[in-house]
Amino acid sequence: MDYSDESQHLEDADAHARAGRWLAAVQVYREVTERKPKDLLLRQKLAEALARAGQTAEAVSVLASIADRLARDGMLLRAITIGKLILEMDPSHTQTQQKVAELYARKHGVPPPPSFFPPRPPPPVPVEDTGESQEVSGVIELLEVAGDIVKDAAHEQSGEGHAELASVPHSPLFADLDEAAFLDVVKTLALRRAAQGKAVLVEGDAGTSMFIIVRGDVVIERARVGAPAQVLHTLGPGAFFGEMALLTHAPRMATVRAKNDVVLLELDEPRLRALMEKHPSMQGVMEGFHRRRMVANLSAVSPIFQAMEPAQRRELLEKFETVVTVPGQLLIEQWQTGDGLYLILRGRCDVTADEDGAAVNLPAMKEGEIFGEVSLIYDTPCTATVKAAGDGVVLRLRREDFRAAIPPNSAAMALIRKLGTERLKRFGMDAVLE
C-alpha cells in the first residue's frame, strides 16, 4: 500500500505491532525507515518487530546500524552497549565492536569513511504470521534494553537528556588509547543490569570491579550505627565508580545502590590486569587517573590541599605513598620518631596517648585529617599512637621527602604548623612547643 501521509503510515505499523501481526509491522516499518534513515527510534521499532517475528539475524543487522550511527554521532558509550546487547543475541557478531573501535580511532584525525549501514537483507520467505515465537523472549528482553538506550539518545539529540554521554566519558578505560587497546577494552567490558534498589557494590566487600553507568542512576551510601544509611552522592549516566577499591585493593568504603533500573558496563580486576599486561600504556593511564581522583577527593576534604594551587597538589601527591590499612594497624607510635606525614584518604583512625602509664583515648581522626606532623616539624618523638580503626586508605609522605616537598615558608607548611600547634594545645602537650 502506498502512503502519502507518513503519520498514517506509522499509525498502521504500530497497529500491526499492537495486534501481534509482526510480519506486517516489519514491512511497514521497513518502508518508513527507508524514508527516514536517520530516525533511530524507527530503526529500533523495526529491530523489535523483526525479532518478534523470529528474524533475529535481521534484527541484529538493524541494531548494528543503530550502533554505527550512535558511534558516528559521538555517543560511543551507548554504541558500545548496543554492541554488547548484540553479542548476547548473537555471540558470533563481532563486527559492531570492531566498527566502534575504528570510529574511535578516526576521532584522532583520520577522516571517517562513508556512512556504514548494513545492506538490506533479502526479503524473508513468507511464513504464517502467528505472533511472537516462544524462542525469542530472551531476545525481546535485550531489545527492550536497547530501546531504552535509543530513546535516551533520541532525547539527547533533541536537546534533552544527559549531555555527558555525547562523547567518550572521561574514564581511564578510554583515555589516550590506540585503536587496538580500545578494541580490547570494548571486548573486555561486561554488560550488567541492576533493578531499582539492588546493591551493585556493598560496603566492606573486596574491591574487584569498576563500573560505568550507561543508563539510570545510582546512590552512594554509608552505613551508620542505629540510623539510616547516609547518602553521599548520586551518580548518573557517564559516571563511573568502584575504581578506587579496585586499584588500592582496599575494601569498599561505601555501598552503591541502583536508584532506578540501571544499565552498567563492568571491568573486573583479572581482565584489567590482563589488559595492562597486553597494553603497558594502560598502567600509566590508570595510575595517572587514580592520582587525579585522589587530588579531587583530597581537595574536597583536606584543608592542606585546599590551600595549594592545582599544580602544587599534583606535584605533592606524586610523592605520597598509598597505604591500605586493616583494623588495628599501627601507623605511628608514641615516643618513637615519626616516619612521615600521614593523611587519611578513606576510613578513620584511633588515637591514644600514654599518661602516667595509662592509655588515654583521644578524639578519633576522620577523612581529610593529617597526623605525624608534630614529630616532623619539631624533630621530636611522636606525641600519640595512631592505629587504623578499620579498613581504609592513608597517604604517607616519608620524613626525608617532607621538607623538600613542602617548603618552610609555603602556605601549606604554615597550615600544617597551625594544625599541629592547635592539636598540642588541645591535648595539653604545650611543652613540645617550648
- Average pLDDT for runs of 10 along the chain of length 434: 63 89 91 88 91 91 90 84 88 82 62 36 41 54 82 70 47 66 85 94 88 92 82 85 78 89 92 87 74 66 73 79 90 94 88 88 87 88 93 88 83 84 71 55
Judge if 275 and 416 occupy the same domain.
Answer: no
Judge if 246 and 275 occupy the same domain.
Answer: yes
Q: Tell me whether residue 303 is in a domain.
A: no
Residues 6 or more apart whose CB falls under 8 angstroms from that of 356 comprise none
- Total tally of structural domains belonging to the chain: 3
Judge if 340 and 406 occupy the same domain.
Answer: yes
Q: Tell me whether residue 172 is in a domain.
A: no
pLDDT at site 299: 65
Judge if 100 and 195 occupy the same domain.
Answer: no
Which of 130, 164, 198 is the last residue in one of the domains?
164
Judge if 262 and 192 occupy the same domain.
Answer: yes
User: What is the residue range of 389's domain?
Assistant: 314-433
pLDDT at site 175: 58
pLDDT at site 135: 46
Q: Tell me whether residue 252 is in a domain.
A: yes
Judge if 38 and 100 occupy the same domain.
Answer: yes
Contact 346, 300 (CB under 8 A): no
> What residue has cell string 548494513?
118
Alpha carbon of residue 338 to chain centroid: 37
Judge if 25 and 140 occupy the same domain.
Answer: yes
> What CATH number corresponds to the domain at position 269?
2.60.120.10
pLDDT at site 172: 57
Judge if 184 and 159 occupy the same domain.
Answer: no
Which of 116, 137, 164 is the last residue in one of the domains?
164
Helix, strand, or coil (residue 318): coil
Which of 248, 264, 294 is the last residue in one of the domains?
294
pLDDT at site 166: 44
At residue 236's C-alpha, the angle toward residues 234 and 237, to 5°, is: 165
Judge if 268 and 390 occupy the same domain.
Answer: no
Judge if 11 and 159 occupy the same domain.
Answer: yes
Judge if 275 and 209 occupy the same domain.
Answer: yes
Separation of alpha carbons 345 and 351, rounded Å: 16
Residue whose C-alpha is closest to residue 87's, from 18, 188, 218: 188
Q: Tell me whether residue 22 is in a domain.
A: yes
Q: Tell me whether residue 102 is in a domain.
A: yes
Q: Tell me whether residue 169 is in a domain.
A: no
Judge if 237 and 127 occupy the same domain.
Answer: no
